[in-house]
A and B are shown apart, each in its own frame.
Chain A
Amino acid sequence: MNKPMLQVNNITKQFPGVKALDRVSIDLYEGEVLCIAGENGAGKSTLIKILSGVFMLDEGEIILNDEKVNIKNPLTAIELGFSVVYQEHRLINNLTVAENIYFGRFPMKRGFVDYRKLNDDAQQILNRLGMNIRASELVSSLGSSQSQMVEIAKALSVGAKIMILDEPSAAITDSELEKLFEIIKDLKSEGQSFIYISHRLKELFEIGDRVAVLKDGKLVGVEKVSDIDTKKIISMMVGRDLGEVYRPKDREIKEEVLRVENLTNDIVHDCSFTVRAGEIVGFSGLVGSGRSELAESVFGYRKRRAGDIFVDGRKVRIRTPKDAIANGMGFITEDRKTTGVILNKSVAVNTTFAILDKLSRAGFVNTREEKVLVDNYIKKLKIKTPSDKQEAQFLSGGNQQKVILAKWLLTESKFLICDEPTKGIDVGTKQEFYNILDDLARQGIAIMLISSELPEIVGLSNRVYVMQEGRIVKELMEDEISEETITTYSMHEME
């Protein structure tokens, strides 16, 4: 085999209370897609943030094209030929899509930004990704999966020698992913190399050449994709077999808990649906089909233009999230950073934030009771944190997501909306979360599940609504649910 273009030798990185990386060595060849797998908090993002100059390494060396390099800040990394899609969103909201994609690299003409060229170039990349948005749109008007795609477009536009993608597929659907993979394959044949991180193991087999598995900051091993299977990766990641997980859907479905009639807002039109006690109802559709926006309006987070909401058969007035919660609703939101966690607050504060009313006596928070609840969920969801006092910003992405899950599970709502609940969560914990959801349903909770991961929808839902361009186009009954039917209806041309 030819020589690797990038060698990472014995890298160690220590954070307060955690050794995020412990003498990890990895190399990358030209024209290769190297995947990195591992549980939440295994050190994947830390590794790439060292390559991209966000963190300094404590020990070890990085060798690029036979030369030892010192990547001291993100600028050096860019100059050395790295481009990165970070796990957490980094777009500037009040700029347009095009401005974000070419930020810092605007095309100039006679001393001014050449906006025509800027927009044209950006539009070209967007089209190539099959994105149905205008380059001149403001990023603030995009949904979170659309901004994820813009983030990818931005990294692609650089044409870097080494492109690093940290969970690019979180919250985007298979058809968008397909476009991304086509592009990766094209660029690969031109000699560009990729580091690809994902918790969806299926993707690793589709796009990867080799897989490196990290566990607790240590490298477990690197394998050729053609030599292994999912089971092997999981056992390397988790340290044991997960076994076949099959959940029967024979839940006892009772009375209707939520009915939505003719809901219309700025994105969705005339949507009507019901969710009953003991039932998990899936919502499927492509990026931008309006699933999250529909949920947001049900929860009072997005303004409704028309439509009625009934809880337990009674028409209710929901104008703010507070109203929704008072009516027994909970909402695991999609976007971690804006509506999920308070980054500079502790795990404990975040976890109990929605149940402080229950947890306080005479206005004072009962911190002893709080600690019991929080520790319980830290254990149950395997939240990797040095203590419940750790600020959320120092948790890995997946572990932040677990904090959000814990927060809403604690509310014991009778109607729970889950919008991409397992985004960024490792396979082991995913199964645990599915068990919890299934349990909740069996206890009579009504669940609305939005997910871009079809196996999740197919494996859990009793019914599925398929959405397309802001409308519910199809309701699938239990015996009709399959990845094929869902895909067909979400792409089906409407008359």
Chain B
Amino acid sequence: MKIKNTFMNLIGNNDPASKFNRKKMLTTLSPVIGLVALFILASSLSNVFLTASNLTNVLRQVSVLGFAALGMTIVIITGNIDLSIIGNVSMSTTLVAVLLQNGWDVVPMILVVLLASSTIGLLNGLIISYFKIESFVITMGMQVVCFGLSLFIAGGRTVIVDNLAPFMLNLASNKLGMIPVMFIILLGFYTVFYIFTKKTKMGRYIYALGGNEEVSYVSGVNVTIVRTTAYILSGLMAGVAGIFTFSRSLCGDPAAGSALGMYVVAAVVIGGTKMSGGRGSVLFTIIGILIIGIINNTLNLVGFEYYAQQIIQGLIIIFAVVISSKKRR
């Protein structure tokens, strides 16, 4: 009972128990159920799946996606979308590589990269608010700009860095027990963002903007600031994702972000956050990325051909989205 109440609090509903709340809890929980089912299915399909090294590997693989999807969740909650993220991740990765190659220290490098990636978010937010244009179109354009910038920064090729600082060298491989440090950092970010969205004034405004922009405006909320904040956070997380992308490949590939593709949006939606805005929770996006990670991993382990992997992946994502966004009546 206690646990259930805590859970209901977590998803923002702590009505006294009733059968309808149970129903609501079920729909909210469906991503979790899906994850568990997938987990069982994966372990029965491949006996490698449950090994410690493979699970660690899955957590490492989903981390980059996790950072990108966290930013996307915030933007989607405001009722907008940020397609520039994958371009921004590429840009950040190449920037990391080039700065390190030029002998920068790690800390100033990180600051500059995050500043650059957040600036992309700032521009997204301001342009969308100022010209009142669909976020889809603007951020799509910004994505192309970012890919262009990546090529420019990298000089049109993959940047190889000599003499890497040990910190960067080990960032991806460090583990705490079985769990990669980057996944722990990811959880840290999710916790902070969860508290931010659920407990702060700005968090309320972010949800409200997605719920009804007009009401927000009439109530004296500066909607431009709220929307831009969401995009800056999204840009910031793209920067973090970029740093970790570099730490995994140890080179600056100007196309690195495109691997994330539509997984970013898919993870958010599978986690139950509604594209129409105003609803959802960053915590559930973790479930979304884990589901995607396990699907990809299993398909690899089972050894499908690449084209078959693509088709199955796509279908499973569609299926998962359909399940998690099923209407309540």
Residues of A within 8 A of B202 (CB): 363
> In the complex the two chains form, is A353's CB within 8 Å of B204's CB?
yes
> In the complex the two chains form, is A340's CB within 8 Å of B215's CB?
yes
Write out, one digit per residue, whether chain A residues 344-383 have a CB within 8 A of any chain B CB (1) or not (0). Answer: 1110010001101101100111010000000000000000
> In the complex the two chains form, is B201's CB within 8 Å of A354's CB?
no
B16 on the interface (CB 8 Å rule)? yes
In B199-247, which residues have CB < 8 Å from any A CB? 199-202, 204-205, 207-208, 211-212, 214-222
**Shortest distance in angstroms between B230's beta carbon and chain A's nearest beta carbon?**
15
- The segment out of A36-44, A111-119, A168-176, A319-327 that lies at the interface is A319-327
B131 on the interface (CB 8 Å rule)? no
A2 on the interface (CB 8 Å rule)? no
A389-B13 in contact given A321-B219, A331-B218, A364-B201 (Cβ < 8 Å): yes
Rounded to whole angstroms, the CA-CA distance of A321 and B204 in the bound complex is 18
Rounded to whole angstroms, the CA-CA distance of A134 and B137 in the bound complex is 35
B279 on the interface (CB 8 Å rule)? yes
Residues of B within 8 A of A389 (CB): 12-15
B47 on the interface (CB 8 Å rule)? no
> In the complex the two chains form, is A353's CB within 8 Å of B215's CB?
yes
B21 on the interface (CB 8 Å rule)? yes
A301-B218 in contact given A344-B211, A345-B208, A364-B199 (Cβ < 8 Å): yes
> In the complex the two chains form, is A357's CB within 8 Å of B208's CB?
no
> Which residue of chain A has its CB nearest to the CB of B21?
A16
> In the complex the two chains form, is A345's CB within 8 Å of B15's CB?
no
Question: Which of B15, B20, B200, B279 has a CB less than 8 Å from the CB of A363?
Answer: B200
Question: Which of B18, B21, B220 has a CB less than 8 Å from the CB of A322?
Answer: B220
Task: Please tell me the number of chain B residues within 8 Å of chain A, measured between CB atoms.
Answer: 29
Question: Which of B16, B200, B211, B221 has a CB less than 8 Å from the CB of A345?
Answer: B211
**Shortest distance in angstroms between A88's beta carbon and chain B's nearest beta carbon?**
14
Rounded to whole angstroms, the CA-CA distance of A354 and B219 in the bound complex is 5
Residues of A within 8 A of B199 (CB): 364-365, 367
**Shortest distance in angstroms between B272's beta carbon and chain A's nearest beta carbon?**
14
A322-B15 in contact given A341-B215, A344-B211, A357-B201 (Cβ < 8 Å): no
Question: Chain A binding site: helix, strand, loop or mixed by DSSP?
Answer: mixed
Residues of B within 8 A of A386 (CB): 15-16
A387 on the interface (CB 8 Å rule)? yes
Residues of B within 8 A of A343 (CB): 211-212
> In the complex the two chains form, is A321's CB within 8 Å of B217's CB?
yes
Residues of B within 8 A of A320 (CB): 217, 222
A322-B211 in contact given A17-B16, A389-B13, A389-B14 (Cβ < 8 Å): no
Write out, one digit per residue, whether chain A residues 7-18 have a CB within 8 A of any chain B CB (1) or not (0). Answer: 000000001110
In A420-448, which residues have CB < 8 Å from any B CB? none
Rounded to whole angstroms, the CA-CA distance of A339 and B201 in the bound complex is 20
A333 on the interface (CB 8 Å rule)? yes
Residues of A within 8 A of B16 (CB): 17, 386-387
Residues of A within 8 A of B20 (CB): 15-17
Q: Which of A320, A345, A387, A389 has the most CB of B within 10 A?
A: A345
Residues of B within 8 A of A299 (CB): 218
Residues of A within 8 A of B288 (CB): none
**Shortest distance in angstroms between A493's beta carbon and chain B's nearest beta carbon?**
35
A365-B200 in contact given A16-B21, A387-B15 (Cβ < 8 Å): yes
Rounded to whole angstroms, the CA-CA distance of A345 and B217 in the bound complex is 16
> In the complex the two chains form, is B218's CB within 8 Å of A17's CB?
no
Residues of B within 8 A of A322 (CB): 220-222
Rounded to whole angstroms, the CA-CA distance of A17 and B24 in the bound complex is 13
Rounded to whole angstroms, the CA-CA distance of A356 and B199 in the bound complex is 12
Residues of B within 8 A of A363 (CB): 200-202
Residues of A within 8 A of B217 (CB): 301, 320-321
Rounded to whole angstroms, the CA-CA distance of A406 and B287 in the bound complex is 38
> In the complex the two chains form, is A342's CB within 8 Å of B221's CB?
no
B278 on the interface (CB 8 Å rule)? yes
Residues of A within 8 A of B216 (CB): 342, 353
> In the complex the two chains form, is B220's CB within 8 Å of A325's CB?
yes
**Shortest distance in angstroms between B12's beta carbon and chain A's nearest beta carbon?**
8
> In the complex the two chains form, is A349's CB within 8 Å of B279's CB?
no
Residues of A within 8 A of B21 (CB): 16
Residues of A within 8 A of B18 (CB): 16-17
> In the complex the two chains form, is B211's CB within 8 Å of A342's CB?
yes
Residues of B within 8 A of A325 (CB): 219-220
Residues of B within 8 A of A354 (CB): 219-220
Question: Which of B200, B208, B219, B221 has a CB less than 8 Å from the CB of A360?
Answer: B200
A390 on the interface (CB 8 Å rule)? yes
Residues of B within 8 A of A15 (CB): 20
> Which residue of chain A has its CB nearest to the CB of B19?
A16
Residues of A within 8 A of B222 (CB): 320, 322
> Which residue of chain A has its CB nearest to the CB of B211?
A342
> In the complex the two chains form, is B211's CB within 8 Å of A390's CB?
no
A226 on the interface (CB 8 Å rule)? no
> In the complex the two chains form, is A17's CB within 8 Å of B208's CB?
no
> In the complex the two chains form, is B278's CB within 8 Å of A339's CB?
no
> Which residue of chain B has its CB nearest to the CB of A352?
B204
Q: A338-B215, A353-B216 given. 16 additional CB < 8 A pairs?
A: A16-B21, A17-B18, A321-B219, A322-B220, A322-B221, A325-B220, A333-B218, A340-B215, A343-B211, A345-B207, A346-B12, A363-B200, A363-B202, A365-B199, A389-B13, A389-B15
10 contacts between A and B (CB under 8 A): A16-B15, A16-B18, A17-B20, A301-B217, A301-B218, A344-B279, A345-B208, A353-B216, A356-B201, A389-B14
Chain B interface residues (CB < 8 Å from chain A): 12-16, 18, 20-21, 199-202, 204-205, 207-208, 211-212, 214-222, 278-279
The 4 closest A-B pairs by CB, nearest first: A16-B20, A325-B220, A342-B211, A342-B212
Chain A interface residues (CB < 8 Å from chain B): 15-17, 299, 301, 320-322, 324-326, 331, 333, 338-346, 349, 353-354, 356-357, 359-360, 363-365, 367, 386-387, 389-390, 407
